[in-house]
Amino acid sequence: MTTVLRPHHSTGSDTVSFARQTWAGLRVLLVLTVVLGLVYPLAVTGVSQLLFRWQADGSLVSASGEHVTSAEDPVGSLLIGQSFDGPLWFHPRPSAAGDGYDTLASAGSNLGPLNPDLVATIDERRTAVAAEEDVDPESVPADALTASASGLDPDISPAYAELQVARIARARDISEQDVRALVDTVTVGRDLGVLGEPRVNVLRLNLALETLGS
């Protein structure tokens, strides 16, 4: 016996079903938009302003190292690196973000480890740092030679901070022991004891150094 397949014709019930499903989808979209696009961001903003205002406003600090929550007189943010030039200051790691630490151009160099331009740049930095710090080029740590992925890293390694101690002590006419002790006070260990690496915030260190020098 042969079964004859007959074409299916749309009916009014199909149209009604489609309309109901569409309206249900639109309702879900509307609810999620309000909850996730309005209620949740406002709730997170409110909680952060109430409990963590300083961090939420950018971790800004004044020249004395005090926390500030306005953008009137901060000298910088502990979350974003900035340039410090000259022999009196601890220097940050290099930055490939714009002309250096440009928050509108946050990025790394995107060059592979064997890229000849990157290799040449690292060699130039190694020679320059070794000459400035009067050390063997082989002792220059990696974070003195390479930029971070964001180009905004505010921290350096304890090894790079230690490398700069002698130069800063000579320039400021203070003892290396005092400078080294200052580095120790601002060195932060691994998060929870296991995450990341020990680090030194350059802005915090230089602000403390200025206080020591005075």
> Residue 62 is encoded by which pair of tokens?
């004044």
What pLDDT shows up at residue 10?
Answer: 57
Which 3-state string (H, E, C) describes 167-185?
HHHHHHCCCHHHHHHHHHH
User: What order of strands is seen across the sheet that includes strand 60-61?
Assistant: 67-68, 60-61, 76-77
Q: 35-56, pLDDT tens digit by residue?
A: 999 999 999 999 998 888 888 8
Q: 95-139, pLDDT tens digit by residue?
A: 989 888 998 888 888 888 889 999 999 999 999 999 999 999 999
pLDDT at 8 over 60: no
Greater pLDDT, 211 or 79: 79
**Cβ partners under 8 Å of residue 158, min gap 6:** 183, 187, 198, 199, 200
What pLDDT shows up at residue 6?
Answer: 58
Greater pLDDT, 88 or 11: 88
Q: Report the run of H or E that residue 18 belongs to, with start and end.
A: helix 12-34
What pLDDT shows up at residue 42?
Answer: 93
Nearest-angstrom CA–CA distance, 167 and 210: 15
Cβ(82)–Cβ(101) under 8 Å? Answer: yes
Q: 164-185, pLDDT tens digit by residue?
A: 999 999 999 999 999 999 999 9
pTM: 0.78
The mean pLDDT of 132-152, rounded to a whole number, is: 93
Q: What single string gives the DSSP state of each residue in 107-162?
A: ------TT-HHHHHHHHHHHHHHHHHHTS-GGG--GGGTS--SSS---EE-HHHHH
Q: 56-95, pLDDT tens digit by residue?
A: 888 888 888 888 887 777 888 999 999 998 999 999 999 9
Nearest-angstrom CA–CA distance, 92 and 129: 12
What pLDDT shows up at residue 113?
Answer: 86
Placement of tokens 């790079």 in the chain: 160
What pLDDT shows up at residue 58?
Answer: 84
pLDDT at 214 over 70: no
Placement of tokens 């905004």 in the chain: 152
